[in-house]
Every structure is written in C-alpha cells, then in structure tokens.
Amino acid sequence: MTELTHYINGQRVSGNSGRFGDVFNPATGEIQARVPLASKEEFDTAVKIAAEAQPAWGAVNPQRRARVMMKFVDLLHRDMDKLAEVLSSEHGKTFPDAKGDVQRGLEVAEYCIGAPQMLKGEFTDSAGPGIDMYSMKQPLGVCGGITPFNFPAMIPMWMFTPAIVCGNAFILKPSERDPSVPILLAELMEEAGLPKGILQVVNGDKVSVDAMLTNPTIQSVGFVGSTPIAEYIYGTGCANGKRVQCFGGAKNHMIVMPDADMDLAADALVGSGYGAAGERCMAISVAVPVGEDTADRLIEKLVPRVEKLKVGPYTAGDDIDFGPVVTSAAKQNILSLVQSGIDQGAELVVDGRDFSLQGYEDGFFVGAHLFDRVTPEMDIYKKEIFGPVLSTVRAGSYEEAIGLAMNHEYGNGTAIFTRDGDTARDFANRINIGMVGVNVPIPVPLAYHTFGGWKKSVFGDLNQHGPDAFKFYTRTKTVTSRWPSGIKEGGEFNFKAMD
C-alpha cells in the first residue's frame, strides 16, 4: 500500500501525527493508499515556512511571476495524461472527465499570465496643487485554500494560481479522498520556477481546517464544498479577521419550454445530470418541463438515453459515460435518497439501484436513476444528491417553473431551453441565481469571467477566478504625494510655495 505525503518547503514530507486517512480505488472498493492527516503543529510549521518565503516572492515584479505561470501551463500540457491517470484512479471519473478537470484549471492559469495588466493601479496627476495620487495592489501575504474531492485539479488551480501570481504564498489543504494530484501540481509549479515554500500542500481533516482558520498569519481562506461546512468556515474565518470566500451546495434547475428542441434538451440533461456520476456542483439535477405535453415528450426522449448510459471503471477507456462515486458512504447516501423519493411518491422511471458490474462488485458504482412527478416537498428535490439522479418536476406554466428555481435555497446555476429570445431574456434578467445558461446546460463561465452562485450557494462578496480573483488576493494601498518646490538660496525649502 502506498503511503502519501505532504508537500512542504519544496519536498515531499512524511506525516508525523500518527493519524491517516484511507484513499480508495472507487472502482474496486480497495484501499490503495494512506494519506497523513496533519497535526496543528505540522500545519503551523508549513505556514511559518510560507511566511518566510513570501516577502521575496512578493517583491518579484508581476511580469516575472507571470512567466512562471506561462511555464506552468506548458508543463500541464506536457503532463496532462499523467495527471488525468492519477486523478481517475483516486476519484473514479472517466479519463476524458479527468482531462477536462485539469484543462479547466489550466485555463485559469492561462488567464493569470495577464497578471501585469490586472495588477496595475490607478494614477491621478495634479489631484491638488503639486499633488499626485496613486494606488497600488499589493499581496496579502500567506493565503489558504480548502478544496473538495470532486475536482482535485481544477479547484486547487482556481485558487492557488491567482493567489501566487499576485505575490502571495499559498497553503492548500486538498480533500483527503483524492490528494495525489495537488502534490503533483505543486511539483510542477516549482519546476516552472516557483521558489520553494510559496506553494505548500498539507493533507488533513478538521484539525488542519481549524488550524488554517485560526492561524494569525493566514490572511485569506477559500473553500468549496457543502453549505453547512461553508457556513462554518465563513463564520470562523471572519471571526478570526480573515478575508473569506466560500462556495457551498447547489440544486440546479433546467427549465424546458414547450418550444424547445427536445432532442437538444434531452442530450443536455443526460450530459449535465449524469456526467462525472453527478458529482458536480454545476450538475443539472432538476428538469422542469413546462406543461404536461412538454413533460411527456421530454420523458419519452430521456428514458432510452438514460437506459443506454454505460457505467464502468476509467480503465475501460472512452466506452463509458461515467464511473463510480468516490466512496461507499457516498453510494449509500445516494441510494438512501433514491429510496426516500420512492417512499414519498415520486415515480422512478429508470431504476439503477440494482446496478452491478461483473468483476467490480465491491466498487462504488451507482446506476443511473430518473424520477418523474417529483414535488418540491420531497427530499430528493430539496437536498443535493451529488449522484447520478435526475428529478423531473412538472410545471403548469413558465411562472411556476421560474418560481421553483427562484424559491429554492440554493442559487448556484440554472438553465433554460427555448427558441424564444424574449422568454430567454426575461429568464436571464429575473432569475436570482448566479450562473445562467440559455440553451447551455452547464453554464460554468470561462476563466476570464467569474464563477459564483447566489443565496446559500455562496458566502462572501467575491467570486472565483476572473477579475474577482485579483481583487480577493490583493489589498489596495493609496498614496497621496506632494513634493516641495521653490527652493530658497542656501538649499532651504520654500514651504510657502507649496500652499
């Protein structure tokens, strides 16, 4: 069995807390590695090293910091397959999905190459008599990030690439379920020219989280995960004087209007609802067809597509649609919610409960499920399932459909499928949700825009990546400058000339 490490001060370091977590192969159910869970003392040591390294890195000009990011992007392209292989083996997602995970993080690193432009301050000439005024965007110091299991490459890069290119040091606490890729990313950053100690990876559990939230050297904390933990991290981090951004749960609705292209809508729902086994915060988990006829036509299109989905290990290549979920506990939670849907009166149109894969009977595989006639009172509607389960809620009108999305406690993403531009425009303007798709099922913004939901899907004022990242990882200093003029004979200043 492999024993994993932390990454501190430019090298892999064994844990000394005596505590470990199990890393599974989700396809077989076997434990493939142990990951050390850091003590508070180990975490604080990493922070101390980062704090000592950061001032010199912060003094490097933005153009040279951007060159490190350029080289990092090249290395990501070089090692794409290697990273995806490791990612798939620990997470379970298909190889193409794993490459997409790396690619979306890479795109944020590409955006960060533009740091010299993003870090420019403002200047006002002659703000007063002989007075100039200018602002500077300066790094915070040492920043921290807590990232989830479902995107072990993308989300760490969404955090550490802008933080580092702004001149900060960064302490990453990745998910203990699939921790290997973040360490490989840290090694690539140093191969690209990043000084030792600027990016450190400390594996752990709540002990490390609390150490990050209470360590006075950590200036900011980013988090992606469930809403209850997001609330805890946001409250604790703010109480300890830190700048905090937290992204929580989701329940993303896709409204299907009567005039929509049903084949396009059905394909979009299958891809967005079941891809990566539904373990995505931007997955569409609720389809909302408007009108009974629309619902009947949509279900007719969905059933054969869902029934044909192929589930298997990532080693099966491109022949599978999604793999196992990440742990046995995740599988049991999904199946428990499926059973609750049945018990509460929803119609299970496609039943994946008995799915089993020969040779992988102990793997964490969950078959595809499709529910019809779900109502807002049901648990499968209210809760984030995070599995291959799509619920269909029939709406009698457009107003009822839009009301479902607007009244849900989560507001991460949503979509509408229609041929009517006026309806689409009204939907985009009125909906109280952070990311909106129009005939696009997973409206994840590209790296030069920002990613973030509304309502209980987010805690904090700034979104991830895009321009908001440069605001989050810097603080502004404004300088008002006046130089004396009118020097008297003998070299003395004529201060009257300044008035």
Residues assigned a catalytic role: 281
Site of tokens 């209980």: 456
Q: Which amino acid is at 8?
A: I
Judge contact between 298 and 345, C-beta under 8 A. Answer: no
> Nearest-5° angle of CA 177, CA 466, CA 103?
50
Q: Which residues of 7-16 are buried (b: 16+ CB within 10 A; e: fewer)?
A: bbbbeebebe
- Tokens 């030792």 — which residue? 196
CA-closest candidate to residue 449, choices 472, 431, 468: 468
Residue 343 sits at the vertex; the CA angle it makes with 342 and 349, to the nearest 5 degrees, is: 15
Characterize 139-154 residue by residue with b for buried, 16 or more Cβ atoms within 10 angstroms of its Cβ, and e for exposed: bbbbbbbbbbbbbbbb
How far apart CA 420 and CA 417 sit, in angstroms, is: 9
3-state secondary structure of 168: coil
SS3 content of the chain, % helix, strand, coil (to 5): 40, 25, 35
Residues 144 and 152: their CA atoms lie apart, in Å, by 16
| Rounded Cα gap, residues 196 and 173, in angstroms | 17
* Biggest alpha carbon–alpha carbon distance for the chain: 97
Q: Cα–Cα distance between 231 and 209 in angstroms, integer?
A: 13
Q: Among all chains, which residue has been given the structure tokens 């399932």?
A: 385
Q: d(Cα 359, Cα 229) in Å, to the nearest integer?
A: 36
Q: How many H-runs (helices) and E-runs (strands) does the chain carry?
A: 16, 23
Q: How many CA atoms lie within 13 A of 410 on its CB side?
A: 25
Eight-class DSSP state of 338: H
The rounded distance, in Å, linking the Cα atoms of 186 and 110 is 16
Strands (DSSP E) contained in 192-336 are 199-201, 218-224, 243-247, 252-256, 284-289
Token pair of 351, please?
A: 């039943």
Token pair 């049903």 in the structure block, residue: 262
Strands 131-139 and 123-128: antiparallel
Contact 317, 323 (CB under 8 A): no
